[in-house]
Structure 1
Amino acid sequence: MTLRPRLLAVPAVLALALTAACSNSSSSNGGGGGSAAPLTGDCVKYQAYAGNSGKTVTMFASIRSPESDSLEKSWAEFSSCTGIKISYEGSPDFESQIQVRVTGGNAPDLAIIPQPGVLAQMVKTGKVVKPPAQTEANQAKWSPIWKTYGSVNGTFYAAPMSANMKSLVWYSPKAFKAAGYEVPKTWAELMTLSGKIAASGSTKPWCGGIGSGTATGWPATDWLEEVVLGTHGGEVYDQWVSHQVKFGDPKIATAMQTVADWMQNPAWVNGGIGDVKSIATTTFQDAGAPILTNKCAMLQQASFYAAQWPKGTKIGADGDIFAFQFPAVNPSVGNPVEGGGEFVAAFASRPEVQAVQNYLSSSEWASSRVKVSSGWVSANQGVDKSLYTDPIDKLSAAALTDPAATFRFDASDLMPAAVGAGAEWKALTAWFAEGQAIPKVAADIDAAWPQQ
């Protein structure tokens, strides 16, 4: 599941306070700049979006303060120069409210959608408007697989906006150095290191926690996804997402056994917290804390986990905490990378809406967003990687933009909601909490799959 911590809920509309920094024209040209008065000074770079001054574009998403504050700063200059006001609203109930608004005739102009499955639901309403040609052309800066995630039944509807890196293992560089451990580069090395740490007697190799309120179980879906992709590659992963390969298939059963050997090994987990069953009751936010006290050595979690470390924790290769890329189980798979992201869908085709779509799909906007704050990454290959100042962001961006990587989106976000955000969470939680057998877990998930 693509889940990111949202802090300080502020569901009220946050309208940008804009100033007219540059000259502009009120003529409408669809963001093409043809009939708009020339922009001057620092605003020249926004000429392609000019001609819509005084217009307002509404945007709705799940992103809230403080992250939404940085989001609004990222387009502040664009708004000032073009005169297009972006009226933004973030809600903790986005997934349910967007459906209500769209079907009730109160759709926003733009919505930032965090799951391809939600995008598909929106497309079914018939209200999603296909993006302009420039937005589609901007997809050339992304790995082609991203365009498929913004498409429904082969038609492109929503441009990717952000990305997050799931394939990370968090650890303490200080603890590794003190113990003489090397960062593993392969799955075999990772398993050997896990056994070595367990044999030391003082530290368990792995922390784990899958508790997340009503979403309890989602971290376990990530573990399984990492192993499926890293064992069988992208083709089998895609077939699994579409249920051509079922959870009961031997390929997925093999992957589940690999997860069990790794995260259900009583000698390997859950240092500083409890036994294997404690993984089901430990929140994902708290799961990594024992690394700081050397009670456990490693935690598999996404790039956004950086926000969970206590204030003052130094994150970096020579710091208190850092991360390395989760290696492929099967070396022949190459460089598997799992992640998530968000997509911008439109419910209106007015020129000012298309101008904003074009800008938000550009490398220039992605670069602006990177400059505003750390903790945000794009898989847009046009972003200068030197702009990233945070070490985890640098690591994530390098993996997400690697043209040789086999990137795949979070599988549970691609599966039908009844499965990926329902039966799978429940069954994998029972797998850890009750020790249910793999065939039973797989059968429960397969039974929940909607009939075609």
Structure 2
Amino acid sequence: MAQSQRYRRLAPLALLGAAGIALAGCGAPGAPEGGGDAGGEDVSGETVTIYGTIVDSEAELLQESWADFEEETGIEIKYEGSQDFETQLGTRAQGGNPPDIAIFPQPGLFADFAARDFLKPAPEEVEKNANEYWTEDWVNYGTYDGTFYGAPLMANVKGWIWYSPAKFAEWGVEVPETLDDMAALTETIQGATGAPAWCAGFESGTATGWPGTDWIEDYVLRQAGPDVYDQWVTNEVPFTDPQIKSAFDSVGEILLTPENVNAGFGDVRSINSTAFGDVAPALASGDCALTHQASFLSGFFPEGTNIAEDGDVWAFMLPGESADDSAVTGAGEIVGAFSESAATQQVLAYLSSPEWANSRVSLGGVTSANNGLDPANAQDPILQETIKILQDPDTTFRFDASDLMPGAVGAGTFWKGMVAWVNGSGTDEVLEQIETGWPAG
């Protein structure tokens, strides 16, 4: 549950040029050279502070993930998680009291702190790990103005379509290979059940609307392609562009069509009042047949739900225009440092290594694009599939667009626009309103 909030809680402060990611193949897992002795200096007994958005049970798992490292090095890591991360981090940095390390949930926010000279360039060992275990484009997310400031940490993949394998067998349908196939699948299911095939929920407190932005991002990437997606993120292609409107129209064929939604919850407008996690029990109970959500939806199914290819629920990746398309959207974190201490450098090197990635993933609930990660360490089978996608050299990955856009757009007019759209506002009107969020000049 916390994972979804982590990637949506904060609004990026600055715009970072989008970088395309063609993810590299899987490397062999194992203990890295990273996290060395920082030039031979004795750092035993020193304390390193880390600040991030990760809270509650996930924060406990984060601290557990580096417990062995603390024991081996003698470094004490003090982690603090906050739901007011963006505001508090800026205040602390300006006041000269920043943490040693911060875990940034968006590249845009990371780039803003680098641009303001708050962050220190990453040490050599971190850059070595990044170049060895992460792809060039992931490294680019931690680079600002030609200087490398930090390595990625965790990652996720969005665009999963969740369904019931048993129901698919009962209806005699198969996983679609193209978007056209998915449209036909929707009609077949509705003919067999006499009810809408889809359920969706956009409600998420003050962040209501974000699940809708994920829908649009997935369709822009698959229909218009990665180059247009990158231009959209920087507003070279505005929301009012016909290519973006086309994505809205395609998503609207599902979400704005009463015959297609909102199974188990009500009419089209009930999407805005349905909590995004509430669709999971409805899918498990058979009240709806299909829903679109990231891998973290697995945490919302009732206890005892068997998530497997032949289980109660499973998921396939939203297909593209053709069966050969392999483009996905996702999100992740970048680690940056405000300190150049030897102990901080050791912690940074460890967090950029396969050793840490395997340690954290084995505890459950998260994934990473670190190529030294063994997918078998993920306990959740959907997370195992997510890791395989991230490590597939044929995958085209793009970071969540709304996390790269200025906060006034990505977490502002875009979220609000999705709510207005579902409530009945016309597409052209909504697109024009979203576009007003872009800073002038």
Identify whether the pair has TM-score above 0.5, normalized to the shorter chain.
yes
Distance 2:248 2:147 in 1: 34
Structure 1 counterpart of 2:304, from 296, 300, 312: 312
1:31, 1:351 within 8 Å by CA — same for their partners in 2? no
User: Where does residue 60 of structure 1 map in the other structure?
Assistant: 51
CA deviations on 1:95-119 (whole Å, 9 max, x unpaired) are: 2211121112210000111111221
Alignment partner of 1:118 is 2:122? no
Distance 1:35 1:391, change over 3 A: closer
Mark the CA change 1:333 to 1:345 in structure 2 (over 3 Å): closer, same or farther.
Answer: farther
Correspondent of 2:415 among 418, 425, 448: 425
Q: Distance in 2 between matches of 1:335 and 1:104?
A: 45
Could you say what secondary structure the match of 1:205 adopts? coil
Does residue 216 (structure 1) correspond to residue 230 (structure 2)? The answer is no
1:65-214 equivalences under 5 Å are: 65-140=56-131, 141-214=133-206
Q: Does the residue aligned with 2:290 lie in a helix, a strand or coil? A: strand
Cα distance in 1 for residues equivalent to 2:427 and 2:148: 38
Return the alpha-carbon distance in structure 1 between the equivalents of residues 230 and 143 of structure 2: 15
Query: Over the residues paired in the alignment, what is the CA RMSD in angstroms?
Result: 1.9
Q: Of 345, 359, 363, which residue of structure 1 is paired with 2:336?
A: 345
- C-alpha distance in 2, partners of 1:303/1:332? 21
2:367 alignment partner, SS class: coil
Distance 2:166 2:108 in 1: 41
TM-superposition CA deviations, 1:384-418 (whole Å, max 9, x none): 22222320111110111111111000000000000
Runs of 4+ in 1 over 6 A off after TM superposition: none
Is residue 202–residue 295 contact of structure 1 (8 Å, CA) maintained in 2?
A: no
Aligned with 1:405 (options 373, 395, 398): 395
**What's the % identity of the aligned pairs?**
45
Partner Cα distance (2:102, 2:324) in 1: 35
Structure 1 window deviating more from structure 2 (203-212 vs 415-424): it is 203-212
TM superposition shift of 1:148: 2.1
Separation of aligned partners in 2, 1:245 and 1:306:
34
- For each residue in 1:354-412, what CA deviation from the matched residue of structure 2 results, as whole angstroms up to 9, or x when unmatched? 111011001111111122x2211011111122222320111110111111111000000
Aligned residue number for residue 37 of structure 2 = 33
Q: Is the 8 A contact 1:173 1:320 kept in 2?
A: yes
Tell me, what secondary structure is at the counterpart of 2:266? coil
Letter in 1 for 2:173: Y
Give per-residue Cα distances to partners, 1:73-123, cap 9 Å, x unaligned.
111111101111111111122222111211122100001111112212322
The number of equivalent residue pairs is 412
Matched with 1:259 is: 251
Question: Which whole-Å CA distance do the structure 2 matches of 1:229 and 1:377 have between them?
Answer: 22
Give, in angstroms, the shift of residue 32 of structure 1: 4.5
Residue in structure 2 matching 1:226, options 198, 210, 218: 218
2: CA distance between counterparts of 1:51 and 1:360? 19
Secondary structure at the counterpart of residue 296 of structure 1:
coil
Confirm whether residue 384 of structure 1 aligns to residue 374 of structure 2. yes
Counterpart of 2:283 in 1: which secondary structure?
Answer: helix
Q: Residue 404 of structure 2 aligns with which residue?
A: 414
Give yes or no for contact 2:154–2:369 (8 Å, CA) kept in 1. Answer: yes
For the pair shown, the structure with the greater C-alpha radius of gyration is: 1
Q: Of the candidates 325, 342, 347, which is equivalent to residue 356 of structure 1? A: 347
Matched-pair contact (CA < 8 Å) for 1:209–1:280: yes
Aligned-partner residue type, residue 339 of structure 1: G
Q: Which moved more, 1:118-127 or 1:236-245?
A: 118-127
Q: CA, structure 1 residues 432+128, in 2 after alignment: closer, same or farther (shift >3 Å)?
A: same
- Give the Cα–Cα distance (whole angstroms) in 2 for the partners of residues 195 and 375 of structure 1: 34
- The aligned residue for residue 9 of structure 1 is none
Q: Which runs of 5 or more residues in structure 2 are unaligned?
A: 7-33
Q: Name whichever of 307-316 and 346-355 sits farther off.
A: 307-316
* CA–CA distance in structure 1, aligned partners of residues 331 and 402 of structure 2: 10
What is the identity, as a one-letter code, of the residue corresponding to 1:296? C
Does structure 2 conserve the Cα–Cα contact (< 8 Å) formed by 1:315 and 1:322? yes
Q: Unpaired segments of 5 or more residues in structure 1?
A: 7-29, 37-49
What residue in structure 2 maps to residue 370 of structure 1? 361
List per-residue Cα deviations over 1:48-92 (Å, max 9, x = no partner).
xx7311111000111112111111111111110111111111112
Quick check: 1:271 aligned with 2:260?
no
For residue 177 of structure 1, report the CA deviation from its aligned partner: 2.1
Kindly state the Cα deviation for residue 308 of structure 1 after the two structures are TM-superposed.
1.1
For 1:428 and 1:35, the matched residues in 2 are separated by 52
Cα shift at 1:31: 6.0
Distance 1:335 1:250 in 2: 23
- Distance (Å, rounded) in 2 between the aligned partners of 1:311 and 1:344: 34
CA contact (8 A) 1:167 1:338 kept: yes
Deviations 1:416-448 (A, max 9, x none): 000000011111110001x11111111111111
Q: Please give the alpha-carbon distance, in whole angstroms, between the structure 2 residues aligned to 1:31 and 1:349.
A: 14
Q: Could you tell me the TM-score, scaled by structure 2's length? A: 0.89
Aligned-residue offset at 1:150: 2.0
Contact preservation (8 Å) 1:231, 1:333 = no
Bigger relative contact order, structure 1 or 2, given CA contacts below 8 A and separation 6+?
A: 2
Name the amino acid aligned to 2:64.
K
| Letter of the 2:4 counterpart | R
SS at match of 2:96: coil
